[in-house]
A and B are shown apart, each in its own frame.
Chain A
Amino acid sequence: AQTVTQSQPEMSVQEAETVTLSCTYDTSESDYYLFWYKQPPSRQMILVIRQEAYKQQNATENRFSVNFQKAAKSFSLKISDSQLGDAAMYFCAYSWTQGAQKLVFGQGTRLTINP
């Protein structure tokens, strides 16, 4: 079965600094999607970034980028120039590319931004 592990329950960073959140996963599939979701105190789940496994290039979205290491089954999220609004729970997730496309989530990392 596919599993997703986030080994950092909590992280903190100074405003304007860079922080990296870690995620590892286990799968026997060769094609799949990986995601980072943000959940602020409002509880809304917000998609931050998506990586397609067949693409070697790491995905980027403005201040957010990933380091996707397919062989190592590692998928970390880097947040540059951290802002107070980045404070949230961050979830790593895995999805199949075919069929029901259900998501498998990691346990989450709570990110605190220190002013």
Chain B
Amino acid sequence: DAGITQSPRHKVTETGTPVTLRCHQTENHRYMYWYRQDPGHGLRLIHYSYGVKDTDKGEVSDGYSVSRSKTEDFLLTLESATSSQTSVYFCAIGTPREQYFGPGTRLTVT
């Protein structure tokens, strides 16, 4: 298995609070991604990074920000969580031929 971990694995938070999810890799991959998974939508890209301090938006980026200060860490921040951000969040790393996914974080916003 690719060395990719996510923390926390589960989180319940209240509307309006900030939340940060962490993705950590030990594979030294240049590209890292954040996806969210919702019923009926598959996985959708939130943000991605193509190097330290280099990030770009995906198709569902509103309400999210990211940071990458080190190759191994990619942080996803919900500045002010809303109920619509209740979802399962996956981090991924990879090459064009294959992406490896972390175990996912289930986030519930009440």
Contacts and interface: CB of A to CB of B under 8 A. Distances in A.
Interface of A: 4, 6, 33, 43-45, 47, 50, 52, 91, 93, 95-98, 100-108
Contacts of B33: 102-103
Given A103-B92, A105-B35, 14 more contacts: A33-B96, A33-B97, A43-B104, A47-B98, A93-B43, A96-B96, A97-B96, A101-B94, A101-B95, A102-B45, A102-B48, A103-B99, A106-B42, A107-B42
Given A100-B48, A100-B56, A108 B98 contact: no
B101 interface: yes
A43 B102 CA distance: 10
Contacts of B97: 33, 50, 52
Contacts of A104: 45
Contacts of A44: 101, 103-104
Sorting the interface of chain B by its residue count into under 10, 10 to 19, 20 to 34 or 35 or more gives 20 to 34
Contacts, number: 56
Interface string B34-52: 0100001111110010100
Nearest to A32: B96
9 contacts: A6-B42, A33-B96, A45-B92, A96-B96, A100-B50, A101-B95, A101-B99, A103-B33, A104-B45
Contacts of A106: 42
